[in-house]
């Protein structure tokens, strides 16, 4: 039977590499690239068809950072497919990243150096902003838009896979400020929230046949990471990065390697997976890819609270959205 797989943020980086890998795995797959920019989506589709000429590749316009776009895209999905085997929640942003060079050099000579290179803990901040729905952009894109999509498509879903990060950190997240309006670690906060949401979804929905997992792709050179430092700097340090990779398995570096755990999960029986584990894509010094589960620093109670708070926010944004739609209809009639 033809399996249906939807991947958000599929036009570049890890998402696009995953598409390649899945089509190689199963040529009968119906792959749906859910992207905000249709030109980039078309280009990705063309690239996939070059290497897999008979593949079934659909496109879906979806801006996960916009409530209206998520609701319309979900309608479209329901009209097109009557079942979704895998939904990969991969789209993500890290806007205006700032690397604290002082902390970085201090970290280089500390006991935490390996951890720093694996997680960027203590050396990376971001500047977030409000989007047109009045939500924090990173929260809306990395977490809430995906949550809304899941809520809309729930009856069709069976497997969810989140592209989280080892940058997810408990101390960056606050339940009183789940959108991270106050701090400067919105990325870390949103990824920690996705880890908790995945656990909560497993607790609420496993009995109905819906399973959720989270992965970390390691450090991968993509548009997201290229945004952290000026491009000439990356060119300069690239040999050093490949050297570091010999000593640390988290420097996966290529999108293909980064997609390892996403691909691996595609092949697993969901009942065999640990809902409290994050599945890491790792690459050995000799270049061998493998997937390793590591326990997440999350607890069930807090995850359930987050889930309830997201449901409340969902109600609020839906109410606001229908008021706006009604206003638009009235002004169209006038």
Ligand X SMILES: CC(C)CCC[C@@H](C)[C@H]1CC[C@H]2C3=C(CC[C@]12C)[C@@]1(C)CCC(=O)[C@@H](C)[C@@H]1CC3
Extract the tokens encoding 227.
């945004």
237 binds, among ligand NDP, ligand X, none (CB under 5 to 8 A by kind): ligand X
Q: Please tell me the count of residues contacting ligand NDP according to CB under 6 A.
A: 30
Out of 81, 88, 187, 192, pick the active-site residue: 187
* 194-213 positions binding ligand NDP, by CB under 6 A: none
Provide, rounded to whole angstroms, the least separation between the CB of residue 127 and ligand X: 15
Provide, rounded to whole angstroms, the least separation between the CB of residue 33 and ligand NDP: 9
Q: Show the site string, 131-170: x = touches ligand X by CB under 6 A, - = not.
A: ----------------------------------xxx---
* CA atoms of 230 and 251, how far apart (whole Å): 19
332 binds, among ligand X, ligand NDP, none (CB under 5 to 8 A by kind): none
Strands of the 157-163 sheet, one edge to the other: 56-61, 30-35, 4-8, 84-89, 157-163, 211-216, 277-283, 289-295
Nearer to ligand X, 96 or 132 (CB): 96
Distance in Å from the first CA to the final CA of the chain:
51
64 binds, among ligand NDP, ligand X, none (CB under 5 to 8 A by kind): ligand NDP
SS3 percent helix, strand, coil of the chain, rounded to 5, is 50, 15, 30
222 binds, among ligand NDP, ligand X, none (CB under 5 to 8 A by kind): ligand NDP
**Looking at 22-30, 103-111, 175-183, 216-224, which segment touches ligand NDP (CB under 6 A)?**
216-224
117 binds, among ligand X, ligand NDP, none (CB under 5 to 8 A by kind): ligand X
Residue of closest CB approach to ligand X = 165
* 160-179 positions binding ligand NDP, by CB under 6 A: 163, 165
Q: How, if at all, do strands 277-283 and 56-61 pair? A: unpaired
Provide, rounded to whole angstroms, the least separation between the CB of residue 306 and ligand X: 20
Q: Is 187 a catalytic residue?
A: yes
Name the burial class of residue 8, with classes exposed (0-12), middle (13-18) and buried (19+) by CB atoms within 10 angstroms of its CB.
Answer: buried
Extract the tokens encoding 76.
């479209």
Name the burial class of residue 18, with classes exposed (0-12), middle (13-18) and buried (19+) by CB atoms within 10 angstroms of its CB.
Answer: buried
* CA atoms of 250 and 124, how far apart (whole Å): 17
Nearer to ligand NDP, 4 or 62 (CB): 62
Residue 240 engages ligand X in binding (rule: CB under 6 A) = yes
Secondary structure E strands in the chain: 4-8, 30-35, 56-61, 84-89, 98-99, 124-125, 157-163, 211-216, 277-283, 289-295
Provide, rounded to whole angstroms, the least separation between the CB of residue 104 and ligand X: 7
Under 8 Å CB-to-CB from 86, ≥6 apart: which residues?
3, 4, 5, 6, 158, 159, 160, 161, 266
* CA atoms of 9 and 14, how far apart (whole Å): 9
Give contact residues for ligand X (rule: CB under 6 A).
99, 117, 119-120, 123-124, 165-167, 219, 225, 228-229, 237, 240
Give contact residues for ligand NDP (rule: CB under 6 A).
8-9, 11-15, 35-37, 40, 62-65, 90-93, 141, 163, 165, 216-217, 219-220, 222-225
Question: What are the residue numbers of the active site?
Answer: 187
């Amino acid at each position: 039977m033809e399996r249906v797989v939807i991947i958000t943020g599929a036009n570049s980086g890890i998402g696009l590499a995953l598409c390649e890998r899945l089509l190689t795995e199963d040529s009968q797959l119906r792959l749906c690239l859910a992207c905000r920019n249709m030109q980039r989506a078309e280009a990705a589709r063309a690239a996939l068809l070059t290497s897999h000429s008979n593949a079934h590749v659909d496109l879906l316009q979806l801006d996960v950072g916009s409530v209206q776009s998520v609701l319309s895209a979900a309608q479209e999905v329901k009209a097109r497919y009557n079942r979704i085997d895998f939904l990969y929640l991969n789209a993500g942003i890290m806007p205006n990243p700032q690397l604290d060079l002082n902390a970085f050099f201090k970290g280089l000579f500390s006991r935490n150096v390996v951890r720093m290179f694996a997680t960027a803990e203590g050396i990376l901040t971001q500047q977030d902003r409000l989007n047109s729905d009045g939500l924090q952009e990173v929260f809306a894109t990395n977490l809430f838009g995906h949550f809304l999509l899941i809520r809309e498509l729930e009856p069709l879903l069976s497997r969810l896979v989140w592209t989280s990060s080892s940058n997810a950190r408990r101390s960056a997240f606050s339940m009183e400020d789940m959108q991270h309006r106050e701090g400067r670690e919105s990325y870390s906060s949103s990824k920690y929230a996705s880890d908790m949401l995945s656990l909560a979804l497993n607790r609420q929905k496993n009995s109905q046949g819906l399973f959720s997992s989270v992965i970390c792709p390691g450090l991968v050179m993509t548009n997201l990471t290229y945004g952290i430092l000026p491009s000439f700097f990356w060119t300069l340090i690239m040999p050093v990065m490949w050297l570091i990779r010999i000593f640390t398995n988290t420097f996966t570096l290529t999108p293909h390697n980064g997609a390892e755990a996403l691909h691996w999960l595609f092949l697993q029986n969901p009942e065999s997976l640990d809902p409290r584990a994050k599945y890491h894509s790792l690459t050995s010094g000799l270049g061998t890819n493998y997937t390793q589960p590591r326990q997440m620093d999350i607890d069930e109670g807090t995850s359930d609270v987050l889930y309830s708070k997201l449901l409340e926010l969902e109600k609020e944004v839906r109410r606001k959205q229908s008021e706006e739609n009604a206003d638009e209809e009235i002004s169209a009639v006038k």
